[in-house]
Structure 1
Amino acid sequence: MAKNFGFLICLLIMAMDITAGILGIQAEIAENKVKHLRMWIFECRDPSFTAFKLGLAAAVLLGLAHVIGNLLGGCVCIWTKEDLDRATANKQLAVASLIFSWIVLAVGFSMLIIGTLSNSKSRKTCGITHHRLFSIGGILCFIHGLFTVAYYVSATAAAREDRANQPRATS
C-alpha cells in the first residue's frame, strides 16, 4: 500500500531550513557579544566559539535540507529549448525552483561557512569587518526552504503527469 508522504517531506524540509535560519541569526547575536576594537574599516575581535558551533550547525542543516529535497524530488531535466517549450507548467516550475534553490544554497552556505571560519581561530583576529554574514546566511536559509519545497512539490507533480501520460502496455 503506497502512501503519500509529500506533506511530511515538505514539513521536514521547511523545519530544517527554518531551524538553520534561526541558528544563523543566533550565531550573529553570539558573534556580536564578543569584545572588539574598531578603527575605520578595520576591526580586531576575539572569536566566538558559540557562534562557530551555531554557524556550523546552520550550514549542516541547510546542506542536509537541500540534499533531502533534491534526492526525494527526483531529477527534472530540460535539455533544449524545444524541451522547455513542450514541458508542462509543473516541469517548468520545477526547473526554475531547482535553479533558484541552488543559487540561494551557494550564497547562503558560503556566507554561513565564511562566518563560521572567521570564528574558528583560537586567537584574536584583525582585519576588514565581516558583519552580518550569519544574519544574511540565516535569512537565505528561509528563502532556500521556500524554493526547495516548491521544487519538491512541482517535481513530484511533473513525475505524476509523466506517468499518467505514458501509454500503457497491454498484454
Structure 2
Amino acid sequence: MKVGVFECRAPSYQAFKLGLAATILLALAHVIANLLGGCVCVWTRDQYTKATANRQLAVAFLIFSWIILAVAFCMLIIGTLANSRSKQSCNILNHRLLSIGGVLCFIHGLFVVPYYVSATATRREESKRLDQPRPIP
C-alpha cells in the first residue's frame, strides 16, 4: 500500500528483533565507554577554560555522545515498538526510524571512541603531573 511518497509496510518480527538488539547494543556500548573512560568532570566554565586540551575534548565528546545516545535510543525504541504490533494506518512519524537510529548508533561510536582516547590521555597527563617532584620553596 502506498500513500503519496510514503510506503506503508506491515510490521516485521525480524525488524523488531534487530531493533531490540540494536537498542541493547547501543546502551551496552555507551556503558562500556563510560566505564572505561572514567569520569572526566568539569563543573564550571572557568574549570573548562583552564583545563587541558585533552580534558576539554573528553568533555565535549562526552556531551555529544550523551545527546546522540538519547536521540538514537528514542528513535530505535519508537521504530522497534512500531514493528511490534500491527497497524491499521500509515504513520509518517514511524517512517524509517530504525534505519536512522542505526545510523546514529554508528555516529555514537564515532564520538565514544575519541571520548575514551581523550579521557585516557587526560588520566595519563594527570598521573604524570602528580608524579613529578614539586620544588621546595
- Give the TM-score category using the shorter length: 0.7 to 0.9
8 Å CA contact retained: 1:45, 1:125: no
Question: How far, CA to CA, are the matches of 2:124 and 2:76 in structure 1?
Answer: 36
Matching of residues 72-83 of structure 1 within 5 Å: 72-83=36-47
Cα RMSD over matched residues? 2.0
Runs of 5+ consecutive residues of structure 1 not aligned to the other structure: 1-36
- Residue 89 of structure 2 corresponds to 126
Matching of residues 10-159 of structure 1 within 5 Å: 37-40=1-4, 45-121=9-85, 123-129=86-92, 130-159=94-123
Runs of 5+ consecutive residues of structure 2 not aligned to the other structure: none
8 Å CA contact retained: 1:101, 1:144: yes
In structure 2, the CA distance between the partners of 1:134 and 1:44, relative to structure 1 (3 Å rule), is closer
Q: Which has the higher strand share?
A: 1
In structure 2, the CA distance between the partners of 1:44 and 1:85, relative to structure 1 (3 Å rule), is closer
Question: How far, CA to CA, are the matches of 1:131 and 1:124 in structure 2?
Answer: 13
Question: How far, CA to CA, are the matches of 1:116 and 1:50 in structure 2?
Answer: 10
Question: How far, CA to CA, are the matches of 1:126 and 1:73 in structure 2?
Answer: 45
8 Å CA contact retained: 1:93, 1:151: yes
Report the TM-score, using the length of structure 2 for normalisation: 0.87
Shift of 1:166: 1.5
Residue 76 of structure 1 aligns to a residue in which SS? Answer: coil
8 Å CA contact retained: 1:41, 1:128: no
Question: How far, CA to CA, are the matches of 1:91 and 1:42 in structure 2?
Answer: 45
Question: How far, CA to CA, are the matches of 1:145 and 1:39 in structure 2?
Answer: 35
Give the length in aligned residue pairs.
Answer: 132
Equivalent residue letter for 2:88:
T
Stretches of 4+ aligned residues off by more than 6 angstroms: none
